[in-house]
Structure 1
Amino acid sequence: MELQDLFLTPLYLGLFYALAYAVRPRFTNSYTKKYFIPALTVKFIGAIGLGLIYQFYYTGGDTYNYFNQSKAVYQALTEEPAAGLALLFNSSGKYTPEIAKYASQINWFSAPTEFFVIKISGFFSLLCFDTYTVVALCFAVASFSGMWAMYTAFVRISPAAYKELAIAVFFLPSVFFWGSGLMKDSLCIGALGWVFYGFYYGIILRQHVARSLLTGAIGIYFLSHLKIYILLSFLPPALFWVFNEYNQKIRSSLARNLARPLFIVFGLGAAYLGATRLTAGDEKYDVNKIGERTKINAAYLTTQVSNGSAYNIGVLDGSASSLIKVAPQAIIVSIFRPFLFEARNPVMLLSALEATYFLYLTITLLFRTGIVKSFQLIASQPILTFCFIFAIVLAIGVGTNSGNFGTLVRYKIPLMPFYLGALFIMRQLQLTQKSHSGRKGLAARSIRRLAYS
């Protein structure tokens, strides 16, 4: 951060807040309105806080690498706009005479996902005089737009849980800290929100179809360029969600039961075809190579840690069978760890507190509802089935690929709103059922009193 950050950041904060107050009536109702500005505020806090932590605690890191390398994009756009545009739209990772002068300054020019973030940072730099903190605020705004879309969809699904869902989407410290600044994670969780919104409104509800599908397509575009494994984790449960929704609309119970296996088989087949086509030829995410890549990633990231934050979930030999064996441990480590006694630094302690909260809510909900009834409730509600499958699939992926809590805390933030949101929706459904049974019991007692009087 430089001196210009101190002068320009308050100015741009004022502009962003003015814009937020102007558009708030368009994107809120009487219940969600009060969360719009606080949710945006914590995103700004996360974006600025991330920069400060990386500068003064870590003394450098990815966020500054992205920004420093985006200076070449900013320079190209201001000095030679034609070359700058060519650089922005370059996706091949190959040098051309037009962009060679600027591309040679970018170490990650041939790394597609990192270069994608650099291009976005360079574009935002053009709007704010190449100022790190303001660029980070732009990332926060982009992320917030997707997360507000996610929240809007969740509230439409379970209006009575709008307060709790705001906590799940916006106010988890890890989510707004790691998902707000100049990082891939900010764009990913925002894009995931756009995909979720587009899928729910465009396919499940079939409302504002063109706008919803366009929103979802934008999210898919970003995820496919940043972290396609999030999209791959989303696709199978999302298709299963569609088939569950349409299956429930079949009036005949016999026809519904006969159609369910066909829906499941068709959904799994479509998900597999989508996943293999999306990743075909991709060195990192090709489905046919996923076991080997997982083994390599986990081993590499574990060896990079020297502060005691590494964890061990079992032996990965690169085969699919070894992935299946370690899957239960991966789920536990992603959702319920680190435990409080495993915290070695402030960042780990924050993550441990959240994991403890997740564990507490899960256990209390299962205890109050009953394990069998809980699973029956999940199976009967397509949104719950989707959320838990997505969270579990992504938990297996990130749990087996990270190898240490330092990277895991960033990798797992996309699953956290969905897992916690599902718990809150379950609790609301449980309260609703009790309320209905209570009213029925009151009516029965009134009838009995009337009969004896």
Structure 2
Amino acid sequence: MELKDFVVTPIVLFIVYILAYIIRPKVTDHNTRRYFIPALTVKIIGAIALGLIYQFYYGFGDTFWYHTYGSQIIWELFWEHPIDALRIIFGDNVFVPDLYMYTSRIRYFEDADTFFIVRLAAIFDIFTYGSYAATSVLFAVAGFTGLWAMYQVFYYRFANLYNYLALSILFVPSVVFWGSGILKDTITISALGWLLYAFDKLIILKRGKLLFLIIVGIIAIYLLFVVKKYILFTFVPSAMAWFYVSGIKKLSNVFVKILIAPVLLALVSLIAVFSINKIGEYDKKYAIDNLAKTAQITAYDIAYQTGKDAGSTYTLGELDGTYLSLFKLFPQAVNVALFRPYIWEVRNPFMLLASIESTFILFLTVTVIFKKYWIGIINQKVDAIILFSIIFTVSFAFAVGVSTFNFGTLMRYKIPLMPFYLSSLVVLIKSHNK
């Protein structure tokens, strides 16, 4: 923290809250209005807390690599040679002679996915005078918008559960903390929320401002594609399943359902496979043939190299780069992402908080399973978005659980599934009780 943080941040906060109070009437009603400002506030607190903990507890970490050893360098250049700074922000991340003295100091310059966060932080820095705290606030605001969009999607269907959904989406401790500061996760979970919103309005409900929704959807897909492609890998098949079930459900004639169902299933399957193949074409790591090998490399790298200081290492079994070894670990991977660390695996205060959260989720899951609340999905008594959420949760839990092998890193990586899974559990329990 520097002196400018104490000067600039209050000004940024003042502007943010003025805009929030202006916007609130347009995006809330009498039920949701009470959560808008508190949800924004906890995101801002989470962003500031993240920076303080990284500074005084860890002493280093990604958030500082993005800002202090990334966007700050670009911001300093901006005041001397603005054109050169803009070339770095918007140009290709390749070394050129006249900018080498600056780009060589940027830690993640050669990593296109990660450098995107540096670019975004540098843009925010221009408006915050390079203040880490103020830029964190703007990241928190960006993260909040996506979660609020996600909340609106669920609230539209389950308005009577507005309070439980707010807790499940807006106030989850791990999402508030890891999804608020200058990190990849803040941008990706926000993009995920906006993509859900756009898909719901455009494809499922077929209502809303067409141009706005298309632009939102394109931006969200772009952000996820650039920063974390594997989120798209899990979203696309889940969304296609949602589209399929919701489409079939609208047909009242049983004979028509029998005729249409196989055709529609084949169509959505083709779209899902085509989309996944297209993603893989742009990054060979995510090509279908290479996914198993990518998971193996990532898991062992995080466990024993890049993530060895982020928390305790765990293992699920041996990965040899084949799909057979990958899918053998499916149950363990889903379990570790959703329900671990167990209380006896705790090694530090952050693992303790994660363990408490995971234990609560385990309790809700056991309740849903043994009291057969999940039957609401089978007999279609609840909206198809719950099926989407469960498929997304399980597939995403498998993806991060099998490719992380480190509790500290896993706590960050799994936050995109948390709002979906908790909302699904709440809806299943409350709908059955009703």
Range into which the TM-score falls when normalised by the shorter chain: over 0.9
Pairwise CA distance, 1:139:
0.3
Q: 1:380 to 1:429 in 2, by over 3 A?
A: closer
Q: Deviations along 1:168-204, whole A, 9 cap, x unmatched?
A: 1111110000000011110111111110111111211
Tell me the TM-score normalised to structure 2 length: 0.95
Aligned residue pairs total 430
Q: Which runs of 5+ in 2 are unaligned?
A: none
Tell me the equivalent position of 2:410.
408
Contact 1:379 1:385 in 2 (8 A): no
In structure 2, distance between residues paired with 1:282 and 1:249 = 38
In structure 1, distance between residues paired with 2:380 and 2:43 = 31
Q: How does 1:34-53 map to 2 (within 5 A)?
A: 34-53=34-53
Letter aligned with residue 272 of structure 1: V
Q: 1:258 to 1:207 in 2, by over 3 A?
A: same
Q: 1:159 to 1:375 in 2, by over 3 A?
A: closer
Tell me the equivalent position of 1:442.
none
In structure 1, distance between residues paired with 2:60 and 2:400 = 24
Q: How does 1:11-410 map to 2 (within 5 A)?
A: 11-68=11-68, 69-91=70-92, 93-97=93-97, 99-208=99-208, 209-304=210-305, 305=308, 309-369=312-372, 373-374=375-376, 376-377=378-379, 381-410=383-412
Pairwise CA distance, 1:377:
4.4
Greater Cα shift, 11-20 or 197-206: 11-20
Q: 1:71 to 1:254 in 2, by over 3 A?
A: same
Q: 1:53 to 1:308 in 2, by over 3 A?
A: closer
In structure 2, distance between residues paired with 1:307 and 1:65 = 15
The structure that has the greater radius of gyration is 1
Pairwise CA distance, 1:374:
4.8
In structure 2, distance between residues paired with 1:85 and 1:306 = 34
Q: Which runs of 5+ in 1 are unaligned?
A: 433-453
Pairwise CA distance, 1:266:
2.2
Greater Cα shift, 294-303 or 69-78: 69-78
In structure 1, distance between residues paired with 2:71 and 2:381 = 47
Contact 2:311 2:409 in 1 (8 A): no
SS of 1:383's equivalent in the other structure is: helix
Tell me the equivalent position of 2:423.
421
Tell me the equivalent position of 1:444.
none
In structure 1, distance between residues paired with 2:386 and 2:120 = 34
Greater Cα shift, 93-102 or 251-260: 93-102
Contact 1:307 1:344 in 2 (8 A): no
Contact 1:298 1:402 in 2 (8 A): yes
The percentage of counterpart residues that share the same residue type is 39
Q: 1:252 to 1:180 in 2, by over 3 A?
A: same
Aligned-pair Cα RMSD in Å: 1.8
Pairwise CA distance, 1:104:
2.8
SS of 1:284's equivalent in the other structure is: helix
In structure 1, distance between residues paired with 2:118 and 2:309 = 29
Structure with larger RCO (C-alpha < 8 A, sep 6+): 2
Contact 1:155 1:165 in 2 (8 A): yes
In structure 2, distance between residues paired with 1:88 and 1:237 = 34
